[in-house]
Amino acid sequence: MAFVLVVSILVTFLAGRQVLVARDQIQQHDAVLAQLQATFSAIQDAETGQRGYLLTGDGPYLDPYRTANQAIRKHLDGLRELADAGQLPAPAVQVLHDVILRKVDEMQRTIDFAEAGQRAAAMAIVRRNTGRKMMEAIRAQIDALETEEGRARSRAHEADARATMQRTVVFVFAALVNLAFLVWTYKRIRREVSLQHLATLEIERQREILAVTLASIGDAVILTDLTGHITFVNQVAEDLTGWTASEAKGQPCAKVFRIINEDSRKPVDSPVEKVLASGAIVGLANHTLLIRKDGSELPIDDSGAPIRETDGSVRGVVLVFRDFTSHKETERHLVQAKQQVEEASRAKDKFLATLSHDLRTPLTPVLAALSTWEANEALPEALRPDLRLIRRNIELEAKLIDDLLDITRIEHGKLFLERDTTDVHGLIEGVIAIFKPACEANGVEISLSARAGETHAHVDPARLQQVFWNIIGNAVKFTMKGDRITVTTRNLPGEKLEISIADTGVGMTRETMDILFQSFRQGNPAPHHKPRGLGLGLSIADALVEAHGGTLRADSPGPGKGSTFTIVLPAVPSPAAQVQPVPRETAAGRSLRILLLEDHEDTARVLGQVLGGIGHTVETCGTVAAALEKISDAKFDLILSDLGLPDGSGLDFVRAVREASQVPAVALTGYGMSEDIEECLEAGFDEHLTKPVDFEKLQMALRTQRRTARE
C-alpha cells in the first residue's frame, strides 16, 4: 500500500511539474509583451514633452521628456537582455534599438536649438517629418515583435492545456489504483476482525442492552471509564452537547462536557473528577452553563454518580443532566415582565405628575384673582354669583387633577389621612349645598334624611368629603328632570354609621356594577346617557372608605330603576366640647418682605398683587440666577418659589439659599405627589403648597412666618 502510494505521488508530481513549466513560459511571454508596450509608451511620453516645449517654450514640459528619456534607456537595456536570453530575436531588437536612438537624438537636437533661442531651426527639423517616419518605423517594429510573441504565447497556452489534461488523467488513475488497494486492505482487515467477533459477541450484546436502556431515559446520559474518558452518550446528550456519539466516544469528559459558572464565567470543576475522587454522588451548583461543541451556551442541571461492580469497586462514572433553558427563560420573562410593569408604572406616575403640574399652574392666578375680587367690598352683588360659579368650576377642575394623583397614591400605598373626630352630617350638608344649585337647575330634588344619633367618626374630613363629593356628584350626573337624590344616615349595631345615597336615575346593569370601582373604567347605564369623566371618582371613593376602615357597596335593580350607594364607617362618641377655632390674624399684622420666584407671568403678577394688597412687599423674578442675585443683595422674610424654572429647579435654589441663610421658604408648585412633597422638605423648604394655591392656606403660611418673626 505504501509503495503504490509513493508511485502515485511521484507520477502526479511529474505531471503537475509539466503544468508549472508551461505556465511559466506563458508568464515569460507576458513579461516580454509588457516590456515592448512600456518601451513604446515611454517614447510617446518623450515626444509629447518635446512637442509641448517646442510649441510653448515652457520649461515644465521638459520634465516628462527627461523622465521618459531615462525610461527609454532602461527599456532598451531590458530588450537587449531579453534578446540575449533568447526570448526575442536579436536582429529585430537591434533594428528597433537603432531607430529609437535616432528618434531620441532627433528630439534632443530640436530641444537644444530651442533652448539656444533658435526655435526656427528646431521647427524646421520637425517640419521635415523625419521624426514622424521614425515613430512609424518604431511602431511597425514593435507590432511585429508583439505579433510573433503573441503566437509564441498561444503555443505555450496550448502546451499548458495539454499538460493540465495529462495531470488530471494521472491523478484520477492514481486515485483509482489507491482505492482498489484500499478495498483489498479493508477486506483483509475485516476478515481478521471477524475471527474475534464470536469472542466479543456476548459482551457487545450486553452493551447494546445497556445502551438501549440509557437511550430511553429522558435526561442526557454520559458514561466514562476510570480515566474519565467517555464510553457512551445517549441521543439526548448528543443533542445537548452537540457531539455525536462517535465523536464523543473515547474523548476526555471535560472536553465534551465543558461547564462554566454563569455569573463568574469561570470553569466549573468536572463532576466526573469529583466522583472518581470521592466515590460519592455529586451535583452541580445553580447557574451552571454547558458550552456546546459550536460554542453556544446552555443552562443545565446535573448530577454524577459512580458505577460500581458487584464487589463494590468503581468501574466508571455515570453523568446525568438536563436542559434548564425553559426554566431559565420563564424566570427571565418573569423578571422582564416585572421590570416592564415597574417602568410603565414609573412612566405613568411621571406623566400624571407633569400633567397635574401643567394643568394646575394656569389655575393659580385665576383663583388668586377671584379671591381678590371676592374680598373687595366694592364688587357689585350682581357679580358675586358669577364669581362663585367660576370658583366652583375651577375647584372642580382642580379636583379632577387631584383624582389623577390620588389614583397613583392609592396604587403605591401612599395615601395619607389626617384623622380627626368629625361630624359626618356637617360634611354631607356641605356637599349637598355645593350640588344643590346644579340640582335645582336640572329639576332634580336632593335632600338629607338624618336618622343617625351618633354622627361622629374618626376620619380625615377632607378625604371623607371627597367621598361624598364623588358619589353625590355621580348621582347628579346620572339623574334627569323629575328624579330624586336622597341621602339617609342611620346607626347600625356595633357602633357603625351608615350613609345611604339613593337616586331614581338611570340605574345600572350587572356588567356596570362589576367594573364600577375599577380605575378608568365606565359602564354604559343607558343608551341615551353617555359616560362622562375619567372613571376615577368611584374608584377613589372605594379606596378612601377602605382606608378609613369602612365599606362601600353599590346596588341597582336595573337600568332605569335608580342606584344606591351605601357607606358604612366606624362611629365614635360625640366630643363633650368642641374646640373653638383660633381666630384668624388680620391683614394688619406685620408686613413681610417676600421674594416670589415664579416663571409663569400671570401667576407671578396676580400673586404679587394679592400679597401686596394685604400689606406685604413682594419682589418677583422668573429665573434661579435672578433670584440668587436678589437674595444676595437684600434681606427677605419669606421665599415663595416654584419648582420648574427655565434655568434650573426651585430645589437647587433653596439648597443654595440654605448654605448661607435660614430664611423661611415655601414651595408653590403644580407637583403634588407625596414624593414631591418629601423632596421639597428634604431640599430645605419649610412648607409645600400645591397649585392652584388655596388662598386660605397661603395666608396661614404667612401668619406662621409672622409668629416666627415675633418669636
**Do residues 7 and 142 both lie within one domain?**
yes
CATH number at residue 541: 3.30.565.10
CATH number at residue 57: 1.20.120
**Do residues 6 and 140 both lie within one domain?**
yes
DSSP annotation string for 178-233: HHHHHHHHHHHHHHHHHHHHHHHHHHHHHHHHHHHHHHTSSSEEEEE-TTSBEEEE
Residue 399: per-residue pLDDT? 62
pTM for the predicted model, two decimal places: 0.39
Nearest residue to 80 (alpha-carbon basis) of 32, 140, 125: 32
Total domains, the chain? 4
CATH number at residue 598: 3.40.50.2300
**Do residues 439 and 374 both lie within one domain?**
no
Asked whether 156 and 26 are in contact (CB, 8 A), the reply is yes
In a domain, 25, yes or no: yes
91: cis peptide before it, omega within 30°? no
Count Cβ neighbours within 10 Å for each residue of 584-597 and write b for 16 or more, e otherwise. eeeeebeebebbbb
**Do residues 606 and 561 both lie within one domain?**
no
CATH number at residue 248: 3.30.450.20
Non-local CB neighbours of 259 within 8 Å, separated by 6+ positions: 267, 268, 270, 284, 288, 289, 290, 291, 300
pLDDT digits (tens, 9 = 90+) for 565-583: 999 999 998 875 444 444 4
Q: H-helix or E-strand containing 50?
A: helix 2-56
In a domain, 640, yes or no: yes
Count Cβ neighbours within 10 Å for each residue of 349-386 and write b for 16 or more, e otherwise. beebbeebbebbbbbbbbbbbbbbeeeeeeeeeeeeee
Distance between CA 488 and CA 479 in Å, rounded?
18
In a domain, 486, yes or no: yes
Domain that holds residue 372: 328-379+590-711
Count Cβ neighbours within 10 Å for each residue of 184-201 and write b for 16 or more, e otherwise. eeeeeeeeeeeeeeeeee
**Do residues 514 and 614 both lie within one domain?**
no
Distance between CA 519 and CA 511 in Å, rounded?
15
**Do residues 566 and 687 both lie within one domain?**
no
Residue 443: per-residue pLDDT? 92
In a domain, 461, yes or no: yes
Residue 221: per-residue pLDDT? 87
In a domain, 390, yes or no: no
**Do residues 563 and 598 both lie within one domain?**
no
In a domain, 213, yes or no: no
Asked whether 646 and 600 are in contact (CB, 8 A), the reply is no
**Do residues 34 and 173 both lie within one domain?**
yes
Residue 577: per-residue pLDDT? 42
User: What length does the chain have?
Assistant: 711
Tell me the three cell numbers of residue 212: 438501549
**Do residues 238 and 272 both lie within one domain?**
yes
Tell me the three cell numbers of residue 542: 372605594
**Do residues 241 and 151 both lie within one domain?**
no
Residue 63: per-residue pLDDT? 85
Domain boundary among 179, 206, 238: 179
Residues of the chain scoring pLDDT < 70: 199, 203, 206-207, 209-216, 284-286, 342, 345-364, 366-368, 370-372, 374-376, 388-389, 391-416, 519-537, 576-590, 672-674, 692-696, 705-711
In a domain, 189, yes or no: no
Residue 368: per-residue pLDDT? 66
**Do residues 528 and 600 both lie within one domain?**
no
Domain boundary among 129, 155, 179: 179
**Do residues 249 and 167 both lie within one domain?**
no
In a domain, 187, yes or no: no
pLDDT digits (tens, 9 = 90+) for 354-405: 656 666 666 667 666 766 676 667 777 777 777 766 766 666 566 656 665 6
What are the contacts of 586-589 at 24+ separation with CB within 8 A?
A: 587/614, 587/615, 588/615, 589/615, 589/703, 589/706
Domain boundary among 179, 204, 231: 179
